[in-house]
Chains A and B, each alone.
Chain A
Amino acid sequence: MAMTAFAPISLEALAEAIPDGALLAVPPDYGGVAMAATVALLRRGTGGLRLYCLPYSTLQADLLIGTGAVAEVEAAAITLGEQGLAPRFSAAVEGGRLTMRDSTCPALHAALQAAEKGVPFMPLRGLLGSDILANRPDWKVIDNPFEAGDPIVLLPAVVPDVALFHAPRADAEGNVWIGRRRELATLAHAAKRTLVTVEEVVEGSFFESEGSAANALPALYVEAVAVAPRGAWPCACPGLYDADPAAIGDYAKAARDEAGFRDYLKRLLDGRIAPCVLEVEPA
C-alpha cells in the first residue's frame, strides 16, 4: 500500500511555519545552518524568537539578533569564528536588549538528550564553581543519590518548539540525509516540530541500503522540507561545500555598526547578497 506521497514545500511556506516567539533550535556553523530559510524568515518578518543553539551559532544568530527578532538566546557562544566577534550579538548584550542564557556546549546537548529520552532532566559533570551555574536558577545541584558527597548538576529537559536546519538531500519519502552530523538528529528528536531545507530531493529511499540508511534521519521526525540550493551559504554544507570566509568577512565588516548592518540587511533581503550574485561579482 502506498504511503501518502512526500512533497517539499516552498521556502516561504517553511518560513511561515515558524511562529513568532518560538523556541527555535539551530545547529552550529559546521552542522548545516538553514541560512536561506533564515533570510526567508527575515523577509516574512518575525519577532520574540528564543534561540537555542546546539551548541553555538555564528552568522545566523547575529543576523537574527541584529534585526531585533530575538528576545533570548541560550548558547555556549555566538561568534563569527575566524572572522571575529559577532558584532550585533555583542552590541545587543552590552545594550541590555538581549537576554543571554549563557551555557556550555555539553549542557546544550544534554538538555536535548533528556528531551530525546522523554525524561525530565539530565545530570552533567563540571560546571560547579562557575558563574555559568551561578546565573542559571533553572539548573539544580544535587548530591549524587548513588554515592553521597558527590555534588552534580541537573539540567531540565529542553523541548524546542521548532528545530530548523539545512542538509544535503532528502529522498522521495522525505527522509533526510544528515551524514555524521548527528546533532541534527538530536535536534529533530527533541523538538516538537522539525523544518529542514535541502540542496535537492533525490529518487528512491535512503533505507534501500545499510550504507545510506546510516546517514538518514527518518521522515517521521520531519514535518516539512523545502528545497534551497546553496541553502547553508555562506556557512558550510557538510560534504558539499565549505564555508565562504570572504562572504562572512563582508558581513563582519558591514555589521560593525548599526548603520552598516541595516545596509547589509537591506541588500540581503533585496536578494543582492546571495551565493550566485557574489560569484559573478568582480573581486
Chain B
Amino acid sequence: MTDWRPEELLICRLADALAGDRHVAVGAASPIPGAAALLAQEEAPRRMHVTVLHSRRYNHFTDGGRELFDCAGQGRIDTFFLGGVQIDGQANINLVGTGDYPTLTKRFPGSFGSAFMYFAVPKVILFREEHSPRTLVEKVDFVSAPGCSPEGTWRRGGPTLLVTSLAVFAFDGARRRFALESLHPGVTAETVAERTGFAFDRPAEVPTTAAPEPARLERLRRTIAPKVAEFYPVFAERVFGVTEPAA
C-alpha cells in the first residue's frame, strides 16, 4: 500500500530530471510533464523559467505559436518533453500512426513540433505512460523525429531519458541504445523485459525509482495541483481532485 498515486511518482521523477535547468518548456497533451516542470520550478534554488504551451498563465510568449520554436532554435530552452505512439530502441519517435504510411492502420494526431524540437533542445525527455510491446517497439512505423543523427547534422542534443509507468531508461546517444536505470516500486525487471519491444542494457542490480517524499507530495498537491488545474483541468480533477485553478 502506498500513499501516492502513480502519476505523482512520475511527476516527482521527471521533476528530478529538470534540476539545474534555466528554462523548461512543455508542449501539447502533457499534464504530467507540465506538473513536473512547475514542481521543479517551485524547488529550484535559482530562478527557473517554465513555459507550458497550453497555459495562459504559464506561457509568457508574446510572439505567437512560433516563439517556442524560435526560442528553442536560439538555444534558450534547456529541456523539452516528447512522447510517441511508438518509441523504438534507437529513440526514434512516432506520433503519426501505426501501419504503412500514408493510410496507416491507425492514424494518430501528428508530429507536432517534435521534428524540430528533438534537434534544437539539448535535453529531451521521452515520456510515455503506456509501457507495452506496442508502444516500445524495435522499429517505429514512421519516424516523426529521429533519436540520433549522422555526424554533420546540426543537432544540439537529443534524448536523455525515457520514463514510463514501469521504469526509467537512460539513453546513450553514442551507442544508440537504452539502459534500464530504475524500476518503479513493485515492478520487476522481468516484467519490463516482457513489455519492452526493443533490446536494452540491463545492469545486474537495478535500483528502485525513489518514492515521493511526504513533504514533496504535500507541495505537489497543495501548490502545484491548482496551477495544473488552469491548463489541464480534466487531469487535475482526476489525479488531485482539484477543480479550482490557482488564482
Contact = CB atoms under 8 A, between A and B. Distances in A.
Interface of A: 28, 30-31, 54-56, 75-79, 81-82, 85-86, 89-90, 93-96, 99-100, 102-107, 109-110, 113, 124-135, 149-152, 180-186, 238-239, 245
B116 A128 contact: no
B234 A106 contact: no
A28 B110 CA distance: 14
B106 interface: yes
Contact of A113 (B62, B66, B154): B66
Contacts of B106: 90, 94
Contact of B108 (A85, A105, A128): A85
Q: Main SS of chain A's interface residues? A: mixed
Contacts of B67: 182
Given A104-B114, A128-B149, A131-B143, A94 B65 contact: no
B144 A238 contact: no
Contacts of A76: 110-113
A55 B29 contact: no
B116 A77 contact: no
A98 to B, nearest CB: 9
A137 to B, nearest CB: 13
Interface string B55-66: 010000111111
Given A93-B97, A102-B96, A125-B73, 13 more contacts: A75-B110, A93-B103, A94-B105, A95-B103, A104-B144, A109-B69, A113-B66, A126-B117, A127-B119, A129-B143, A129-B153, A183-B66, A185-B64
A139 to B, nearest CB: 11
18 contacts: A55-B65, A76-B111, A77-B111, A79-B28, A85-B108, A86-B109, A94-B104, A94-B107, A102-B111, A104-B116, A109-B64, A124-B116, A125-B116, A126-B117, A126-B120, A130-B111, A151-B154, A180-B63
Given A28-B65, A238-B56, A79 B145 contact: no
Contacts of A90: 106-108
B155 to A, nearest CB: 8
Given A79-B29, A109-B65, A125-B119, A56 B110 contact: yes
Given A82-B234, A85-B108, A104-B112, A182 B29 contact: no
Contacts of B145: 126, 130
Nearest to A150: B154
Nearest to A80: B109
Contacts of A149: 152
B28 A77 contact: yes
Interface string B119-163: 110000000000000000000001111100110111000000000
Contacts of A129: 143, 146, 149-150, 153
A126 B103 contact: no
